[in-house]
Amino acid sequence: MAYTYTSGIGAVGSYQASGVPWITGSGADGLPAGSEDRIEFPFVTRTVTIINTDAAAGTGNDIRVHFNSTGSGNVVGGEHFVPLTLDQQSIAMNVKCKEIFISMDATLGNVSGSYVVMAELTDIQTQNMFILTGSGLTD
């Protein structure tokens, strides 16, 4: 009997091959202080890059990048996020995930931030991805 190779969470080839490009952003209105955007990917990612595109960044318009909602666990209090504080500052992550969250601190007042998200997608269905939680993520 012959084995048929298929893509999946544990299949190394799914991450070695170049990913399918995918891009989105905060839109013209940006992300208001105290709010959070959930970015859901159509497939599991190979890499994710987030860029702070707010020209006013550096004056308090910091965006936060995290893998869980600020309402779940201790994401903010535990500092389980990466702040992007400057215009065009970015983070590139070689991670598999099905979603990320981008937020702005509610104490910033009447400001908004903007961002662009770029990802390389595998051909792995998102329902095959496990939930990212626990130490360093929500605890």
The beta strand positions in the chain, using DSSP E, are 20-25, 31-32, 36-40, 43-52, 63-66, 82-84, 90-93, 99-103, 112-113, 115-125
* Residue 136, both tokens: 């360093």
Q: Looking at the domain that runs over 13-128, which CATH code has it been given?
A: 2.60.120.10
Q: What pLDDT score was predicted for residue 14?
A: 83
- pLDDT tens series, the chain, 139 aa: 676 767 788 778 887 888 999 999 998 788 988 899 999 999 999 999 999 998 776 666 789 999 999 998 899 999 999 999 888 999 999 999 999 999 998 776 778 889 999 999 999 999 998 888 888 888 8
Contact (CB, 8 A) for 103 and 63: yes
Give domain limits for the chain: 13-128
Q: What pLDDT score was predicted for residue 48?
A: 98
